[in-house]
């Protein structure tokens, strides 16, 4: 008998019919003798609907009082889906109980809308499991030290599930979603994308952080830190398929590189439309300038991603970086009003119509010329590269948003990702 955590995403919980299917699947696992903890997302569209209502009443504000209410509001989506799943399980003849994050409790810090899990008290959950119940724990949420409800950022139910699995030392955490695993790139953009049977933890981490939304990045970080066996698989297979077949399906995240396996140089391509580029032009080229610009941005709690500084000409240089698109206007305002006057720079210009495309693969460690090949492919398509950033196992470029799909498809082809590995 094993303790297993299942997570079901929004589409998988999208209607009462789908919830009934989830209940039948979970019941199958419970009847096979497993202790089951299930972490559902809100029904698809519900989180957007709730946040949309808030925006109708008052446009998004960075104030804490507003963010607190967003979390209070958004957390109801998962509370509803969890209760519905418990009711569906009871209707299947399986004893079941659901808990909101604060009831477990899942403790987080107080960073509303992007809180981090600090600890999970599993006493209540264990007692219920011991009495033969399936326990449902809301995804996406927790409670801070003062008892306020917090949420973990969009896509955060993945992180809830992996954190619960880590805290309870579960045998496996299965992330059920609307695709049947992790693909070489988003199969909705490139139909030739191929499912990976396994993907290394490090590659998954880069893919998630570069924009593959199939797993929230923090869930991958948790899995790595606590070595949680993690699998991504489809909730759209018939619920009554053989349990062993189901348990071996999808994509397994692996922690050890298989020495015997020939590694693909590039395993996947990620892309992200959520960023915007800001350039400060005519910056005096002297010590302390990067700090003056980026220090002010960091003090405003704005995260910066790709950064480049050009060589200087006549003692002046240009300094560019990317931020989340939602923080674009705020950053430009900040630089124009607070930083430019004391910096002696000439101008701040911005471009929100950019995207970042990244190739990811452990094989890049041991092969030279991979980035050059990427640049050649893009040049053959006539795509201009605006910024570049690299790490040991990834190369990212910032390009015009309108070329995103073209770039992803061309790279997918050029690195043979649509071919079955031999
Ligand atoms: P859920 O609601 O189950 O959490 P998400 O929409 O958050 O589902 O994540 C699943 C989606 O991630 C897929 O429908 C797919 O479009 C997208 N996706 C992006 N990159 C990849 C990838 N490399 N492999 C699989 N799916 C991906
Ligand atoms: N419901 C939340 C969201 O839409 C969390 C999740 O689905 O993982 O972002
Ligand atoms: Mg998700």
SS (H, E, C) 160-181: HHHHHHHHCCCCEEEEEECCCC
Give the CB-side neighbour count of residue 9, counting CA atoms within 13 A.
21
3-class SS of residue 413: helix
Q: What is the dihedral of CA 150, 156, 157, 160, to 10 degrees?
A: -70
Q: What Cα–Cα distance (Å) separates residue 318 from each residue in 84, 283, 289, 309, 334?
A: 55, 6, 11, 6, 18
C-alpha Rg value of the chain to the nearest Å: 23
Per-residue burial over 198-233, b = 16 or more CB atoms within 10 Å of its CB, e = otherwise: bbbbbbbbbbbbbbbebbbbbbbbbbbeeebbbbbb
Of the pLDDT bands very low, low, confident and very high (cuts 50, 70, 90), residue 259 is low
3-class SS of residue 74: helix
Q: For 113-128, what is the mean pLDDT?
A: 97
Average pLDDT, rounded, for the chain: 94
pLDDT tens-digit map of 129-162: 999 999 999 999 999 999 999 999 999 999 999 9
Cα dihedral sign, 30-32-33-38 = negative
Residue whose CA is at the smallest distance from ligand 2 atom 6: 155
Contacts of 357 (CB under 8 A, 6+ apart): 269, 270, 271, 396, 397, 399, 404, 407, 408, 411
pLDDT at 257: 67
Residue whose CA is at the smallest distance from ligand 1 atom 5: 214
| Beta carbons of 108 and 117 less than 8 angstroms apart | yes
Q: In what order do the strands lie in the sheet with 3-8?
A: 96-99, 134-137, 35-40, 3-8, 172-177, 230-234, 251-254, 198-200
First to last CA, the chain: 37
How far, in Å, is the centroid of ligand 1 from the Cα of 120? 27
pLDDT at 258: 61
Could you tell me if residue 231 is left (phi over 0), alpha (psi between -120 and 50 degrees) or otherwise beta?
beta
The Cα 175–Cα 250 span in angstroms is 10
Contacts of 164 (CB under 8 A, 6+ apart): 5, 37, 39, 106, 120, 122, 125, 137, 170, 173
The Cα 305–Cα 353 span in angstroms is 16
DSSP annotation of 247 reads H
Determine the atom of ligand 1 nearest the C-alpha atom of 158.
4
Is the pLDDT assigned to residue 378 strictly greater than 80?
Answer: yes
**E strands, 84-201, where?**
96-99, 106-108, 117-120, 134-137, 141-143, 149-151, 172-177, 198-200
381 within ligand 1 shell (Cβ under 6 A): no
The angle, 0 to 180 degrees and rounded to 10, between the axes of the packed helices 64-91 and 16-31 is 60
pTM equals: 0.93
Is the pLDDT assigned to residue 260 strictly greater than 60?
Answer: no
Write phi, then psi, for 11 (nearest 5 degrees).
Answer: -65, -35
186 within ligand 1 shell (Cβ under 6 A): yes
Per-residue burial over 77-113, b = 16 or more CB atoms within 10 Å of its CB, e = otherwise: bbbbbbbbbbebbeebebebbbbbbbebbbbbebbbb
Please list every protein residue whose CB sits less than 6 Å from any atom of ligand 2.
Answer: 9-10, 41-42, 47, 77, 139-140, 154-158
| More confident call, 193 vs 419 | 193
How far, in Å, is the centroid of ligand 1 from the Cα of 178? 7
How far, in Å, is the centroid of ligand 2 from the Cα of 16? 18
Is the pLDDT assigned to residue 2 strictly greater than 90?
Answer: yes
Is the pLDDT assigned to residue 422 strictly greater than 60?
Answer: no
216 within ligand 1 shell (Cβ under 6 A): no
Is the pLDDT assigned to residue 87 strictly greater than 60?
Answer: yes
The Cα 127–Cα 110 span in angstroms is 28
Q: How many residues in total does the chain contain?
A: 422
pLDDT tens-digit map of 9-56: 999 999 999 999 999 999 999 999 999 999 999 999 999 999 999 999
pLDDT at 233: 98
pLDDT tens-digit map of 158-176: 999 999 999 999 999 999 9
Which of 70, 52, 140 minimizes the C-alpha distance to 104? Answer: 140
Determine the atom of ligand 2 nearest the C-alpha atom of 155.
8
| Beta carbons of 351 and 375 less than 8 angstroms apart | no
Is the pLDDT assigned to residue 356 strictly greater than 90?
Answer: yes
């Amino acid at each position: 008998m094993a303790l297993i955590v299942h997570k079901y995403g929004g589409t998988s919980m999208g209607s009462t019919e789908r919830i009934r299917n989830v209940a039948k699947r979970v019941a199958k696992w419970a009847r096979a003798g497993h202790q089951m903890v299930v972490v559902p997302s809100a029904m698809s569209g519900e989180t957007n609907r709730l946040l949309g209502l808030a925006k109708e009443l008052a446009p998004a504000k960075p104030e804490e009082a507003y963010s607190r209410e967003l979390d209070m509001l958004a957390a109801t989506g998962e509370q509803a889906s969890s209760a519905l799943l418990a009711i569906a399980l009871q209707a299947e003849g399986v004893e079941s109980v659901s808990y909101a994050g604060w009831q477990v409790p899942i403790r987080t810090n107080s960073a509303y809308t992007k809180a981090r899990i600090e600890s999970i008290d599993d006493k209540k959950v264990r007692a219920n499991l011991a009495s033969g119940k399936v326990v449902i724990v809301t995804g996406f949420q927790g409670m801070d030290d003062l008892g306020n409800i917090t949420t973990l950022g969009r896509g955060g139910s993945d992180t809830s599930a992996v954190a619960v699995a880590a805290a309870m030392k579960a045998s496996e955490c299965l992330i059920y979603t609307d695709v049947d695993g992790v693909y070489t790139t988003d199969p909705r953009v490139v139909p030739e994308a191929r499912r990976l049977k396994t993907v290394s933890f490090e590659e998954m981490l880069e893919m998630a952080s570069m924009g593959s939304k199939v797993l929230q990045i923090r869930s991958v970080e948790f899995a790595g830190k606590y070595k949680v066996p993690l699998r991504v698989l489809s909730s759209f297979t018939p619920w009554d398929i053989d349990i062993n077949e189901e348990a071996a399906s999808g994509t397994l995240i692996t922690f050890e590189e298989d020495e015997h396996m020939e590694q693909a140089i590039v395993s996947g391509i990620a892309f992200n439309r959520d960023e915007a580029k800001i350039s400060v032009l005519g910056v005096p080229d002297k010590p302390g300038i990067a700090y003056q610009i980026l220090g002010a941005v960091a003090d405003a709690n704005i995260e910066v991603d790709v950064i480049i500084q050009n060589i200087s000409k006549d003692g002046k240089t240009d300094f560019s970086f990317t931020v989340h698109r939602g923080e674009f206007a705020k950053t430009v305002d900040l630089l124009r009003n607070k930083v430019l006057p004391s910096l002696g720079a000439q101008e701040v210009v911005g471009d929100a119509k950019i995207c970042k495309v990244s190739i990811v693969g452990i094989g890049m460690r041991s092969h030279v010329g991979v980035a050059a090949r990427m640049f050649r492919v893009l040049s053959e398509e006539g795509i201009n590269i605006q910024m570049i950033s690299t790490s040991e196992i990834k190369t990212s470029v910032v390009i015009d948003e309108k070329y995103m799909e073209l770039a992803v498809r061309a790279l997918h082809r050029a690195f043979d990702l649509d071919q079955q590995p031999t």
